[in-house]
Amino acid sequence: MLLTNTRKLWIWLIVMSISTVWLNPQMLSAQGDATFQKTIRPFFENHCIDCHSEGGEGDVDLDRFTTSKSIKQDLAFWGHITEILERGEMPPADCDQPELSELRKVREWILGLIVDSGPPARPLGALRRLNRVEYENTIRDLFLLSRDCFSNPARIIQSNDYFDPASGEMPQSVLAISYLAASQRRHSDLPGVSNLPIDPPAPHGFANEQSALSLSPLLVEQYFELASQLLDNKEFHLISGLWRPMFTEGDAKTKSEQSTKAHTQIGDFLPRAFRRAVTEFELEKYRQLFDSEFGAGESYTTAMKTTVAAILVSPHFLLRQEFSSRPKVNDQEEQIWKNYAMASRLSYFLWGSMPDDELFKAAKENRLTSSEELLSQTERMMRDRKVKSLATDFGMQWLKVSKVASVAPDQTLYPKFYDETMPLPNISMMIEQLLFFETIMIENRSIMDFVSADFSYLNRQLLLWYQEDPKKAAKFIGPLADYEDFYRIKWTNQHRGGVIASGATLISTSTTTRTSPVFRGAWILDVVFNSPPPPAPANVKPLVPSDGDAEHVRLNVRNRLERHRLDPTCATCHNRIDPLGFALEKFDATGKWRPKYETGDAIDSSGEFARKGFDGAFAFKASVKRQESRFVKAFCEHTMKYALGRQLHYSDKPEIERVAAGVKADELRFRSVIKRVVSSELFRRFEQLPQHSVTAESVDLSSEKK
């Protein structure tokens, strides 16, 4: 067994600390003062400086910026100003408003200044380990597994036969077996294999956030245990297409022939595991490990397991290496490195996994530095079934559905939620959200469908929960088994449709006892506009009645929030958050439509957004669609964050603007977002880490002299 080889394996383990580099960029020379003095400074004097000078509102002093040079010294702050101007938050509604052309000139001038300052002097990222989904997918593809090995509730749906992106369309009906609710029938997990390490949370990012994915000694131990359990599992040889050629002697008879075969297999396996070209020195180290084990009397299979386990705990396998630490490389070496780095970046973006043979071939032939080849590969990969990762990992994280499965409304207040047999409605809502995202992705629909669409996928449970007539919504309903048959329907309630008013959104942004316009408004700001509000102060008073406060008990949630906003400290954020949440107030805490409050009071779902009034979810979504540019840019920002695995920097803003403009020119198609991100300067930029940074490349196996 592998565990008996622990002492030998530890010779091959490399424990390293990973530091994230976040440094301010060096400021380069930019435009002169002419435009600033003639246009920019007068704009702020006319509309801003009266309130925002020294000691002014929000401790924001704009009066101190008297030259373009002074602005260049704080571009991060001015990048934030462009966002405020775009959202229309300043100047306030009760002040004289500038012409849109003026606002546009100011934003463009600031963005131009950021462009002229050049890219940051240091890379905006760091090495990061594979997150749990990337690790699982990589193991699946590396060993050619016929099924999954690890428990992973993020998969949502166990059955994937319906998913065929090459067809360009989703079927009218889908058999969607829930991964969570069908655990007793689940056949994907290997018995005896531990769960994967939990990834740190990323409140406004994604699970591939590089700043959180370090590699500690404890994690190295956990990955060693996983590798041991996986390779020793009694079912592993049944599901791995690599077992017979890699782990058995095959036709090799003598020890010499078997050793030669093993060396060949290691030579084929190591570049795929490390996802790059490997040196003869690296190959020789692992071949020596096999020879040492095999020569000491271990069987061919056991010696190969030991060697492969060592590879699986190498930082060259566990880390995504998209930065170079070598201070000097020749042009040929640099091109090779860039090609393999691009293959890895592209495959983990679209597939959440390692490159396939075709990507490796393109990297080897130095084709992936060409924009034409990148777009061609992207088109090919978007037709592959592995692109499902883009929906389950990017899409569902973007929409924040992870906690939907654990929602538990108060059983006394919402008894009908628990009337049905398993699964509960919230499980069906997760599947609904995933199928909706997959439809937009596979059919290359407009991303504005995320805001408002006339279709979705519902099972009989959700048709009843949403009070949709099956005959009108689905046109036909055949016999349904359990809750696993989902049908493509057309909404009859115009307030539904899109992700904003989806059941998954509504139920996850409520408390167990009531709706929460605050949670719902904050979700809209974060997900729809990539403009999350700051967290509430630690000493904020809870929005619940005090003992004996009879008047507060009687008040509905709108009245309570109006009282809450009487505190000026709270009003600043809540004036921005609450109106958006009230647009959804006619949906209760379980996602059901309701005509009035439980108190009998009429529901007021009116509000103001972008200085225009609305009443109800349908009118609000129409308001969002009028702010098309904001949504498109926000969706491009979310996609870029996921693609790069990091938070965006102010210096990224001009390129994001170019990506969004390209998407609008392409009729807002989903695939255009993906292609524009892939062909962007941000995605194609590779930089060297500082020489003092610790990387997988700077630590060699030869450094271990035990």
Shortest CA distance to 424 belongs to which of 399, 445, 407, 441? 407
Report pLDDT for 291.
95
Q: Is residue 65 part of a domain?
A: yes
| Domain that includes residue 345, residue range | 331-383
Q: Starting at the earlier edge strand, list the strands of the sheet with 485-490.
A: 173-175, 485-490, 455-458
Q: Can you tell me the mean pLDDT for 425-454?
A: 96
- Check whether residue 170 and residue 92 sit in a common domain: no
Query: Model-level pTM?
Result: 0.86
DSSP 536: P
The pLDDT tens digits of the residues spanning 377-399 come to 999 999 999 999 999 999 999 99
- Check whether residue 504 and residue 393 sit in a common domain: yes
Q: Can you tell me the mean pLDDT for 116-127?
A: 68
The pLDDT tens digits of the residues spanning 420-429 come to 666 889 999 9
The pLDDT tens digits of the residues spanning 450-499 come to 999 999 999 988 998 999 988 888 776 665 555 688 999 999 988 999 99
- Check whether residue 353 and residue 429 sit in a common domain: no
- pLDDT category, 122, cuts 50, 70, 90? low
Shortest CA distance to 584 belongs to which of 507, 491, 666, 528? 507
Listed in sequence order, the residues at least 6 apart from 481 whose beta carbon sits closer than 8 Å to its beta carbon are: none
The pLDDT tens digits of the residues spanning 164-197 come to 999 999 999 998 888 776 554 444 578 788 888 8
The pLDDT tens digits of the residues spanning 2-28 come to 444 443 443 333 233 222 222 233 332
The pLDDT tens digits of the residues spanning 220-238 come to 999 999 999 999 999 999 9
- pLDDT category, 323, cuts 50, 70, 90? low
Report pLDDT for 58.
59
Q: Can you tell me the mean pLDDT for 568-574?
A: 64
Matching residue, tokens 């349904």: 480
Q: Is residue 220 part of a domain?
A: no
Of 116, 138, 170, the residue at which a domain comes to its end is 116
What average pLDDT does the chain have? Answer: 82
Query: In angstroms, how far is the first alpha carbon of the chain from the final one?
Result: 23
Q: Is residue 76 part of a domain?
A: yes
Listed in sequence order, the residues at least 6 apart from 656 whose beta carbon sits closer than 8 Å to its beta carbon are: 633, 636, 637, 640, 648, 682
Report pLDDT for 701.
35
- Check whether residue 410 and residue 500 sit in a common domain: yes
- Check whether residue 362 and residue 396 sit in a common domain: no
**Both tokens assigned to 200:** 């740190």
Question: Comparing 29-43, 124-138, 285-299, 601-615, which segment has the lowest mean pLDDT?
Answer: 29-43
Q: Is residue 160 part of a domain?
A: yes
Asked if 147 and 239 touch (Cβ cutoff 8 Å), the reply is yes
Q: Is residue 312 part of a domain?
A: no
Angle, to 10 degrees, between the axis of helix 628-644 and the axis of helix 670-678?
50
- When comparing pLDDT for 698 and 72, which is higher? 72
Strands 606-609 and 612-615: antiparallel
- pLDDT category, 149, cuts 50, 70, 90? confident
- When comparing pLDDT for 613 and 88, which is higher? 613
- Check whether residue 461 and residue 394 sit in a common domain: yes
Of 487, 512, 537, the residue at which a domain comes to its end is 512
Asked if 164 and 261 touch (Cβ cutoff 8 Å), the reply is no
Distance CA 400, CA 360 (A): 33
Report pLDDT for 29.
34
Helix (H, G, I), strand (E, B) or coil at 83: helix
- pLDDT category, 524, cuts 50, 70, 90? very high
- Check whether residue 410 and residue 474 sit in a common domain: yes
Report pLDDT for 622.
95
- Run of H or E residues at 23: none
Q: How many helices (H) and strands (E) are present in the chain, helices listed first?
A: 32, 7
The pLDDT tens digits of the residues spanning 619-646 come to 999 999 999 999 999 999 999 999 999 9
Report pLDDT for 101.
76
Query: Is a pLDDT exceeding 70 seen at residue 697?
Result: no
**Both tokens assigned to 282:** 């690296």
- Check whether residue 404 and residue 350 sit in a common domain: no
Report pLDDT for 577.
86
Q: Is residue 557 part of a domain?
A: no
Q: Is residue 295 part of a domain?
A: no
Number of domain units in the chain: 4
Report pLDDT for 704.
34
Q: Is residue 82 part of a domain?
A: yes
- Check whether residue 451 and residue 351 sit in a common domain: no
Asked if 293 and 303 touch (Cβ cutoff 8 Å), the reply is yes
Could you please report the per-residue DSSP string of 393-407? IIIHHHTT-TTGGG-
- Check whether residue 42 and residue 108 sit in a common domain: yes
Matching residue, tokens 């099924």: 147
DSSP 248: S
Query: Is a pLDDT exceeding 60 seen at residue 702?
Result: no
- Check whether residue 434 and residue 485 sit in a common domain: yes
CA distances in angstroms from 334 to 329, 363, 365, 403, 687, listed in the order given: 6, 12, 13, 43, 11
- When comparing pLDDT for 568 and 398, which is higher? 398
The pLDDT tens digits of the residues spanning 331-377 come to 777 788 889 999 999 999 999 999 999 999 999 999 998 999 999 99
Query: Is a pLDDT exceeding 90 seen at residue 119?
Result: no
Report pLDDT for 44.
75
Q: 596 has which bridge partners?
A: 602
Report pLDDT for 487.
92
- Check whether residue 345 and residue 394 sit in a common domain: no
Q: Can you tell me the mean pLDDT for 687-694?
A: 48
Helix (H, G, I), strand (E, B) or coil at 129: strand
Shortest CA distance to 559 belongs to which of 540, 578, 584, 534? 578
Q: Return the biggest CA–CA distance within the chain.
A: 89
